[in-house]
Every structure is written in C-alpha cells, then in structure tokens.
Amino acid sequence: MPAQVSRRQLIQLGAIIVGGWGVSQVLRRTAPIGRDVGLSEAVPAILRGEDLPGAGPMNASLRMAVFTDYRCPACRHAFPAMEAAVQQDGDVRLIYKDWPIFGPPSERAASVALASAEQGIYPAIHQRLMTDNRIIDDPMLRSVVTDAGGDWDRTTAFLASHARTIAAQLRRNGQDAYAIGLSGTPGFLAGPILVMGAIDTTDFGRLFARARKSAK
C-alpha cells in the first residue's frame, strides 16, 4: 500500500531540500578555502620550483605549484578550471610538479613531459596530456610531443641521457607532496595555501585571493 504524500508535504520537502542546498552553498562560499601549510619548511623550495617547468610571468605576484598525474580523473577534471582561472588572473606563475602515482604509464608520461621541457614545450604537452582521452603508451606520447611542436627523437634521446635526473625530479616531487601533507592528486599549493582535490574556476579565484592575503 503506497503511503499518500500530500501536496503540502511535498512542498515542505521541496523547501527543506532547496533551503539545505542554499545553506551548503553559503557555507561553501564563505568558509576559507584550502589549508595554510606555511609552517612546513618545504614550501619555499616548492614555490621556487628550481629545475622544474613552469608557465606564466616569472615575476608574478603569486606562485602556484600543481601536483598532478595525467591519469588522475580529478586532475583532468580540475585542469580546464585552473587554466581559465590562471588566464583570468593573469598574474600567477605555475610550477608543474608531476607526481605520477597511478602506475607505470603515468610515470612514463611524466618523464616524457619533463624530458621535453628543454624544447620549451612542457606547458603544451601538459595541456594535451590532461585533455587527451587516448590510452597512454609510446605511440600516443609520440603524437602528443609532435603535436606540441616537439621532436620525439630529441625527447627520447634526452630521456635516455638524463634518466637519473628526471627520476630524481619525480622522487623530489613525491617527497615534497608528503612534506606538505598531500595525500593524493591533484594538489594546488598557492603561496602557503594548499587545496587538495578538484575545484572550479570560482574556487581557484578564491584560492588566489586567500594566498595573496596570507603571503602579506
């Protein structure tokens, strides 16, 4: 016997749902975004990003390190929002911290991206790998490098001669991630403020604002 739901009850239920959603939105918009990890002595070095690829103005008023894996769904989900927010802001320097934690294909992709950096195409490769839906293997990577204007043979030669350096860079990224308390990807460290997980363009804007305020 199905219980009858009166029209009034239905309206009340609707009001509760909408009201709850509204409250959650208000809380979400007003709660400070991210966590201040400025106490960690790893932060300054991470934000300097020595020997790591970057993008954006060198003298930007804000630096943000992005910890990502090319096969991590949340990283891929957050990528367009981050790009839009960074472009809108115009004064953010990105530091790319490849952190391949999804297994060998992720590691291979990150190594290839880093090995291509000396050709000046890292951001283009990063953008392609974050948005390309093909399975990651060498033919795929080759086409990504080539599409980004790179020379695949030069990439593989560089990777062969700098394998240890690149492996060390990836290990360093993992140690840095652990040091600031990142438990997975993606991680966005803007100034001293750390956000874990995917966020939207508005929240990136809020992150930049809080990071600039905290750095003062």
Interface ranges with other proteins (CB under 8 A): 37, 39-40, 42, 69, 71-73, 76, 99, 101-103, 105-106, 132-136, 170-175, 177-185
- Whole-angstrom distance, CA of residue 6 vs CA of residue 8: 5
Smallest distance, other proteins to C-beta of residue 9, A? 28
- Enter the tokens of residue 144: 């990504």
Question: 50-73: b or e for each residue (b if 16 or more CB lie within 10 Å)?
Answer: eebbbbbeeebebbbbbbbbbbbe
Q: Which one, 77 or 154, has the nearer CB to other proteins?
A: 77
Smallest distance, other proteins to C-beta of residue 131, A? 10
Q: Which one, 138 or 153, has the nearer CB to other proteins?
A: 138
Q: Cβ atoms within 10 A of the Cβ of 15, count?
A: 10
Q: Which one, 25 or 131, has the nearer CB to other proteins?
A: 131
Q: Which one, 116 or 173, has the nearer CB to other proteins?
A: 173
Q: Cβ atoms within 10 A of the Cβ of 27, count?
A: 9
Smallest distance, other proteins to C-beta of residue 169, A? 10
Smallest distance, other proteins to C-beta of residue 148, A? 18
- Enter the tokens of residue 3: 């219980």
Smallest distance, other proteins to C-beta of residue 151, A? 24
| DSSP letter for each residue of 138-162 | HHHHHHHHHHTT--HHHHHHHHHHT
Q: Which one, 47 or 180, has the nearer CB to other proteins?
A: 180
Smallest distance, other proteins to C-beta of residue 82, A? 17
Rg (CA), the chain: 21
Of 88, 92, 108, whose CA–CA distance to 100 is shortest?
Answer: 108
Q: Which one, 48 or 134, has the nearer CB to other proteins?
A: 134
